[in-house]
Structure 1
Amino acid sequence: MSRQGASGRRSAASERSSAGAPDTRTNAVARAHGVVELLRASADRIEAARALPADVVAALHEARMFRLLLPRSLGGDELHLKTLAQVMEVIGGADASTAWCMGQGAGCAMAAASLKPEVARRLFGPADAVLAWGAGIQGKAFAMDGGYRVTGKWTFASGCANATLLGGHSYVFEKDGTPRKRANGQQADRTLLFVKSKAKIHDMWHTLGLRGTASYTYEVEDLFVPEEETFDREDPTATFEPGTLYLFHETYAYAAAFSALMLGIAQGMVNDLEALAMSKTPRASASSLKDSPVFQSQFAVLQARLRAARAYLHTTLDEIWDKVEAARAMPIEERANHKLATTYVINQGVDIATEAYRAAGQTAIFPINPFERRLRDALSASQQLQGRPSNFITIGRVLLGLPPDTILLR
């Protein structure tokens, strides 16, 4: 069933029509390039603060980097996923923590399409509106007149420091305390949105890499959330937007964003290696790096692998977008193809970054150079769900005509 199949949902001619809105796909990448120098210059500050500094956040808002997947009807870009990937690679090459916050924020912003127009406008209309949420269904929401009372604690809310809104994925219980069930017998869950000031924030983000993402833990207790500020991420009809983007579950936006981020890290590492090769002569070596046939071959192969991974990702995103747009649905086979490409690119990216780091020799171990930070970021990014090698098991099952064994391809 289409994610836009419900009767009464918004049509292209409705009040939230994007008619007349500017097509920002062509300039989103240019806007990303416009903040690159600031991000490069701010990398040390971002790491030290373990969050994005205020001036960086302001520049990102000015460039509308947190509105990439927000509906055009709300002043967002509503980008094609390939364009999102291009933007993310640019930012990832400058600062991976910033790119991670943007990627998380982009996927979360798709929630606006599942809210009634007036509610979406109230929550996401402000120019500085950013939604963050933690991983997994960690809350309990008890139904009551007009909404829910929710209690829960969520972790890994990337971008929490610069967010204005938080979301809590929660299991739903009826007024009498019994679990609400879906038609398939599983317990129902909903995502509840609330302003960040209503939550208790725990800063526990001390990590190897992606230090600037402020991926905090947060909790609420017995918080009332109106029904209209909640939605069901698993309901394929729960959208008020007609655009192709909203036929995709947000997990596919995260996959596109984080795989492109990894390409950005890897490309940045290879670029740094190329700059190093122009001047470095390794100890006990008869030639400089750039004059070494061994290095020349290694460098060429790294470039080929990067270009191949990028081409695979972009081609896949283009092909699947066209198919989803035509069918108005995303079949299981295309979900598998999408995750096959993104999981592969993430793992290729971290391998390329690791090889480039090793090729830089002792130079790479000093924090004054960018190699060690990029490697820490790549290794940390690779640990997230989207990059797990075990994803290939689920994908392989579908490619072989078997049912998926996890929720990876929801």
Structure 2
Amino acid sequence: MNATPKVGLVELARAIAPLIAGEADEIERTRRLTPAVVDALIRNGLYRALLPQSLGGAEAPIEVFMQMLEEIAKADASTAWCLGQCSVCAMIAASLDHDTAQEIFNTPPGILAWGAVAHEARAVEGGYRVTARWDFASGSRQASWLGAHVRIVDGNGTPRKNADRSPELRTILFPVASATLHDVWQAIGLAGTGTDSYEVYDLFVPERFTAFRDVPSALRETGPLYRIGTGSTFSLGFAAVSLGVARATLDAAIALAREKHQSLAASAMRDNGAVQGLIGRTEGDLRAARAYLYATAHAMWGDLSITGEFSAAHRGAVRLAATWTIHQSAKVVDAAYHMAGATAVFRSHPFERRFRDMHAIAQQIQARDTHYEDVGKAILAES
């Protein structure tokens, strides 16, 4: 089954969420998405959410992508994180020639993952040679292709420069079989993402399997989605994941409060005024964060669809909304965790894993406090 106009991505995500929730313990134990989950994501076309329509992808509006991740995150954060990572990676197809993109994304399973920007590739006849190791490749254990973002040097070792004198960066793509994966992801949260390292030695990458990432002039697709670029799409997607985790955690706390009678307490939790007030305030915080994130995405998408431009103002607005949403989601999870009391510490209850997952999300680049400084600097520079 694939995502179609009749059965949308959000509905498909909601339909397979129970399966994912049922696999969550095994995902945590093995530190990998299970075959059943990967198969469900592929069969339902969710990995193809941001792939161009010219390649058979959904090329979904940004809010649809966000809602899809939010639904999956309610079931399991690691699954949502891998899905978000690999979906955004697929946006590089918009900068590749059609035949190359077809080979990568329409040969099953057609999943691309990549890690952090690092190292150099040397220009040689017909392409590039590279020996390097990269980290933080979420979703790499499901991928058929890997990518890496590298600085380009000429044959004599001279760094290439863009017109503005900045280093020339390219994304190189190669089959996962060309790399050695290192099992290094022993983390407190998002354990199932398999965010491992990967390494290549003296690998030749043909020119056609390279692209400029997030460079509008290099785009071969005209849809507004690809004007946003991968950086801002990662921000919106992972902020949506944080909302899903927060929603599920707060819902679990509400369900617990309806039934639990705390030790030594005179009344049930549901009748406790302090608990009632905490739930009300926390619910308001979560609804406000979600409304802000989606309002920002909606306004940006509306402008982008009309003008075709993703401006610096859009980029700043997205960064601010995504960062703040992740931080607010962490506060919601903390409140729900503490509300659950001693119940929250047991692995048999749906609190401690989400607590760990949320705090792993909050440590990622999308949640850095320095983003507030960047936005504040831009605001102060306005005249």
Q: Are the counterparts in 1 of residues 3 and 46 from structure 2 also a CA contact under 8 Å?
A: no
Match of 1:126 among 96, 104, 107: 107
Q: Are the counterparts in 1 of residues 337 and 352 from structure 2 also a CA contact under 8 Å?
A: yes
CA drift of 1:22 comes to 8.2
Q: Helix, strand or coil for the counterpart of 1:152? A: strand
Q: Per the alignment, do residues 274 and 22 of structure 1 end up closer, same or farther by CA in structure 2, a change over 3 Å counting? A: closer
Deviations along 1:198-221, one digit per CA (max 9) or x if unpaired, are 001100110100000000100111
Q: Are the counterparts in 2 of residues 161 and 214 from structure 1 also a CA contact under 8 Å?
A: yes
* Aligned-pair Cα RMSD in Å: 1.5
Give the AA of the match of 1:336: G
Equivalenced residue count is 382
Q: Are the counterparts in 1 of residues 3 and 9 from structure 2 also a CA contact under 8 Å?
A: no
In 2, Cα distance between the equivalents of 1:104 and 1:247?
Answer: 18
Matched, 1:333 2:333: no
Corresponding residue for residue 96 of structure 1:
77
Match of 2:200 among 220, 233, 249: 220
Q: Helix, strand or coil for the counterpart of 1:132? A: strand
Report runs of 4+ in structure 1 exceeding 6 Å deviation.
none
In 2, Cα distance between the equivalents of 1:115 and 1:88?
Answer: 26
Q: For 1:307-322, list aligned pairs within 5 A.
A: 307-322=287-302
In 2, Cα distance between the equivalents of 1:25 and 1:195?
Answer: 34
Match of 1:41 among 11, 17, 22: 22
Q: Are the counterparts in 2 of residues 25 and 77 from structure 1 also a CA contact under 8 Å?
A: no
Matched, 1:171 2:126: no
Matched, 1:370 2:365: no
Q: Are the counterparts in 2 of residues 25 and 79 from structure 1 also a CA contact under 8 Å?
A: no
Bigger RCO of structures 1 and 2 (CA < 8 A, at least 6 apart) = 1
Matched, 1:106 2:87: yes
Q: Helix, strand or coil for the counterpart of 1:166? A: strand
Matched, 1:74 2:59: no
Corresponding residue for residue 277 of structure 2:
297
CA drift of 1:315 comes to 1.0
Match of 2:68 among 87, 90, 113: 87
Give the AA of the match of 2:131: T
Q: Are the counterparts in 2 of residues 269 and 356 from structure 1 also a CA contact under 8 Å?
A: yes
CA drift of 1:402 comes to 6.2
Q: Are the counterparts in 1 of residues 137 and 195 from structure 2 also a CA contact under 8 Å?
A: yes
Q: For 1:183-222, list aligned pairs within 5 A.
A: 183-222=163-202
Corresponding residue for residue 39 of structure 2:
58
Q: Are the counterparts in 2 of residues 119 and 229 from structure 1 also a CA contact under 8 Å?
A: yes
In 1, Cα distance between the equivalents of 2:331 and 2:6?
Answer: 31
In 1, Cα distance between the equivalents of 2:267 and 2:324?
Answer: 36
Corresponding residue for residue 407 of structure 1:
none
Match of 1:237 among 217, 220, 226: 217
Give the AA of the match of 2:153: F
Match of 2:8 among 13, 16, 27: 27
In 2, Cα distance between the equivalents of 1:38 and 1:235?
Answer: 38
Q: Per the alignment, do residues 22 and 243 of structure 1 end up closer, same or farther by CA in structure 2, a change over 3 Å counting? A: farther
In 1, Cα distance between the equivalents of 2:370 and 2:292?
Answer: 20
In 2, Cα distance between the equivalents of 1:382 and 1:401?
Answer: 28
In 2, Cα distance between the equivalents of 1:164 and 1:328?
Answer: 32
In 1, Cα distance between the equivalents of 2:214 and 2:24?
Answer: 37
Q: Which moved more, 1:217-226 or 1:228-237?
A: 228-237
Matched, 1:353 2:333: yes
TM-score, length-scaled by structure 1:
0.91
Give the AA of the match of 1:252: S
Q: Are the counterparts in 1 of residues 214 and 230 from structure 2 also a CA contact under 8 Å?
A: no
Q: Helix, strand or coil for the counterpart of 2:217? A: coil
Q: Are the counterparts in 2 of residues 174 and 180 from structure 1 also a CA contact under 8 Å?
A: yes
Q: Which runs of 5+ in 2 are unaligned?
A: none
Corresponding residue for residue 232 of structure 2:
252
Corresponding residue for residue 3 of structure 1:
none
Q: Helix, strand or coil for the counterpart of 1:154? A: strand
Greater helix content: 2
Q: Are the counterparts in 2 of residues 66 and 102 from structure 1 also a CA contact under 8 Å?
A: yes
Q: Helix, strand or coil for the counterpart of 2:47? A: coil
Q: Which runs of 5+ in 1 are unaligned?
A: 1-20, 404-410
TM-score, length-scaled by structure 2:
0.97
Corresponding residue for residue 248 of structure 2:
268
Q: Which moved more, 1:357-366 or 1:321-330?
A: 321-330
Corresponding residue for residue 401 of structure 1:
381
Matched, 1:389 2:369: yes
In 2, Cα distance between the equivalents of 1:234 and 1:377?
Answer: 29
Q: Once the two structures are aligned, what percentage of the paired residues are identical?
A: 39
Deviations along 1:266-302, one digit per CA (max 9) or x if unpaired, are 0000110111112111111111111111111111111
In 1, Cα distance between the equivalents of 2:365 and 2:16?
Answer: 28
